[in-house]
Amino acid sequence: MTRQREKVLKAVCSLEHPTAQETYAYITSNTGLQAEDRISLGTIYRNLQVLEEEGRIAAVPAGQDAMHYDARLDVHYHILCGKCGKVFDVPMQYNKDIDLEAEKHSGCRIESHDILFRGICKNCCSEEN
Ligand SMILES: [Zn+2]
Ligand SMILES: [Zn+2]
């Protein structure tokens, strides 16, 4: 793994479902960055893609405009905040019944499903009050 890729992976682990832009902002805002450590947004995109292909991170297609990336690889649910645009994990149990139900109605073999909830996150809710 290249140093740059390692850096991108570390950023995704430190952030919560960052987009490529957020990953870029995180890495470039790091102080003490050496000249050889400079990294372009294009490189970030490429590295995120490779990391996803290698199965080290997961892509969460939650945003309307941008892909979010997740360091957590097990199947879990997400909520997209309509106000700040951030994606958070929803700590509820994976519902296998939905797979069985879908299998029954579609005749397909279902392996898993994703749920993306839409709403307003805790932070934004408390700002409203
Ligand atoms: Zn929010
Ligand atoms: Zn997640």
Kindly report the backbone phi and psi dihedral angles of residue 68, in degrees, each rounded to the nearest multiple of 5, phi listed first: -105, 150
Q: How far away, in angstroms, is 91 Cα from ligand 2 center?
A: 9
Q: Mean pLDDT over all residues of the chain?
A: 91
From 51, 50, 80, 53, select the one nearest 66 (Cα to Cα): 80
Q: How far away, in angstroms, is 128 Cα from ligand 1 center?
A: 10
Q: What is the pTM of this model?
A: 0.84
Q: How far away, in angstroms, is 123 Cα from ligand 1 center?
A: 6
User: Helical H runs in the chain?
Assistant: 3-14, 20-29, 41-53, 96-106, 122-128
For ion ligand 1, residues whose CB falls within 5 Å = 81, 83-84, 121, 124
Q: What is the reported pLDDT for 44?
A: 95
Q: What is the mean pLDDT of each run of 10 residues along the chain (129 residues)?
A: 90 95 90 68 96 96 84 95 94 96 97 94 91
How confident is the model over 75-101, as pLDDT tens digits?
A: 999 999 999 999 999 999 999 999 999
Helix (H, G, I), strand (E, B) or coil at 61: coil
Same domain, 53 and 78: no
Amino acid identity, position 7: K
Residue that finishes a domain, picked among 42, 73, 104: 73
Kindly report the backbone phi and psi dihedral angles of residue 57, in degrees, each rounded to the nearest multiple of 5, phi listed first: -135, 165
pLDDT above 90 covers what percent of the chain?
A: 80
Which residue range forms the structural domain that includes residue 105?
74-129
